[in-house]
Amino acid sequence: MITAYEQAEQPDKALLLFQHMQLHGVLSDSVTIHLSVGNAIIAMYAKCGNVSLPRLVFDLMEERDVILWNSIISGYSQNGQAGEALFLSEEIPRFCYKRIKIDANLCNALMDVYVKCGDLDTATRLFNDIPPTERNISSWNVLISGYGMHGYGKEALNLFSQMQQTGIKPDHITFTSLLSACGHAGLIDEGRKCFAEMKKHSVSPRVKHYACMVDMLGRAGLLN
């Protein structure tokens, strides 16, 4: 039920059910926490901005799969605690490499952590470690966003070109990252081209895209 509520974007109901389990002592033994339930609880609390309780649940788990690691690391990263996520990620080799396969989603979460810590080299290495056929849109988006937020606009655009060559279609997150990258790097013409290209990929502009355009033109003194 907790998993169902979490997947249905109803964290309040999932939270009430989890608290009910705690009240009745259902969680007194880590064995009672199934992997799917643990994943749902961690994701649920992370969406609510709480990362201390997810860590408690994570530590209780006797069995940890790649999804669980992805959930806890993403939770820290999404709530502005990249340092904690980075610290936890260093534990992965000890627990995981000999037991489970590190998949693209976990690599994406780790890339996001290193990007936010400013370590683009490690993020790029993780990206390259993902087999080309397993890289998904999130893999490309994280790295494009990372280069963009640190002022490497041209590199972000080059990644976008490489992504298109692989046949992966960009989404609204891709274009948000590209427009932001162009704005920070002062690439006005390229930014306008990216905005115009959204229509080609059937991506309708959202508020964030317009905000990126305003920011980009404002930085260049072209709002008039």
The dihedral formed by the CA atoms of 195, 196, 198 and 203, expressed in degrees to the nearest 10: 100
> Residues 174-216: pLDDT tens digits?
999 999 999 999 999 999 999 999 999 999 999 999 999 999 9
Q: Where do the domains of the chain lie, and which CATH numbers do they carry?
A: 136-224 (1.25.40)
Alpha carbons 224 and 215: distance in angstroms, whole number: 13
Alpha carbons 77 and 219: distance in angstroms, whole number: 28
Alpha carbons 224 and 212: distance in angstroms, whole number: 16
Instruction: Name the helix (H) or strand (E) containing 131.
Output: none
> Residues 1-21: pLDDT tens digits?
655 655 666 555 655 666 666
Alpha carbons 54 and 205: distance in angstroms, whole number: 35
Alpha carbons 109 and 28: distance in angstroms, whole number: 30
pLDDT of residue 9: 60
Residue that the structure tokens 């992997």 belong to: 35
Q: Are 177 and 185 in contact (CB under 8 A)?
A: no
pLDDT of residue 38: 72
Q: Are 222 and 187 in contact (CB under 8 A)?
A: no
pLDDT of residue 192: 97
Residue ranges with strand state E in the chain = none
